[in-house]
Amino acid sequence: MTDSRDWFPSQDEPNPMRAAQAGMKPTLPKRFYKEAGVEETDGLFRLTLDGRVAKTPGKQTLAVPSRALAEAMAQEWAEQGAEVDPSTMPITRIVNSAIDGVSPRHAEVVDDLVRYAASDLIYYRVSEPARLVQSQDTAWNPILDWARDSHGARFTLAEGVMHVTQPEDAIAAVRAAIDRIASPFALAALHVMTTLSGSVLIALAHAHGELDADQAWAAAHVDELYQESVWGEDYEAVERRRRREADFRAASEVFRLVGL
């Protein structure tokens, strides 16, 4: 059966965000199947194309532990037109990267996420204008409060962009929270959300239900939204953010469907 390895990211890419956004062939492949479905085998749910089990780019079975997640992938495949466009299949891309990239490199992905905790977006604040100061405080302070109350992590804030070294015990607390995520699918989703938001704390707070997807995405773009309110929207910037938001929401959905 024709499979997806020629146009989905390679299993050699351990970073799920880069894998999820890897460049695609300029000429999209023709649709080679009529129906997408799901079959259960040994407690796993496999994507099928015309009844045959689909493969990842690494030639592994495209199977997940959640029927709902498998059905979400099947819907992406079913909604393709005459050509197969991976850019419209963010859930499938994240699942591919989880199976081929994250699962065999779990520790590397955890380490990469922990590095975000050393220089998280929400540590760095402005001193003016007052409206932006208030917007940052409103969006980010509850996340820091959650990290403190739920994980015992207390972080140091700074004005401007000069790097501030964070307490080792706070970084260790973030690592412990990430280490509790055993599922490679959930870990891949968390990595995508972290990379897109620039904040592992925003991603973790959302993953734990402290923020909904709207709140998490807005928190990640406080500065950008403020600038737009002052200077107006830039069409290309808004379009880039819209595409990234679609990937963020797909990652959020993957995380929700597989859990911790």
The pLDDT value recorded for residue 2 is: 40
The pLDDT value recorded for residue 259 is: 72
Contact in structure between 176 and 94 (CB atoms under 8 Å): no
Global pTM exceeds 0.75: yes
The pLDDT value recorded for residue 23 is: 47
The pLDDT value recorded for residue 260 is: 63
CA–CA gap between residue 86 and residue 215 (Å, rounded)? 27
The pLDDT value recorded for residue 234 is: 87
Amino acid (1-letter code) at residue 248: F
Sign of the CA dihedral running 12, 15, 16, 21: negative
CA–CA gap between residue 170 and residue 154 (Å, rounded)? 6
The pLDDT value recorded for residue 13 is: 57
CA–CA gap between residue 89 and residue 257 (Å, rounded)? 16
Contact in structure between 126 and 133 (CB atoms under 8 Å): yes
CA–CA gap between residue 190 and residue 171 (Å, rounded)? 17
DSSP code per residue over the chain: ---STTTSPPTT---HHHHHT----SSPPBP--S-EEEEEETTEEEEEETTEEPB-TTS-B-EES-HHHHHHHHHHHHT--SB--GGG-HHHHHHHHIIIIIGGGHHHHHHHHHHHHHS-GGGEE----HHHHHHHHHHHHHHHHHHHHHH------EESS---PPPHHHHHHHHHHHHT---HHHHHHHHHHHHHHT-HHHHHHHHTTSS-HHHHHHHTTHHHHHHHHHH---HHHHHHHHHHHHHHHHHHHHHHHH--
CA 88 to chain centre: 15
In the predicted model, residues of the chain with pLDDT beneath 70 are 1-26, 260
The pLDDT value recorded for residue 160 is: 85
Cβ neighbors of 12 (< 8 A, separation 6 or more) are 101
The pLDDT value recorded for residue 169 is: 98
Distance in angstroms between the alpha carbons of the first and the last residue of the chain: 34
The pLDDT value recorded for residue 151 is: 97
Residue 109 is encoded by which pair of tokens? 């992905």
Residue 16 is encoded by which pair of tokens? 């799920």
Of 193, 189, 195, give the one whose Cα is nearest residue 203: 193
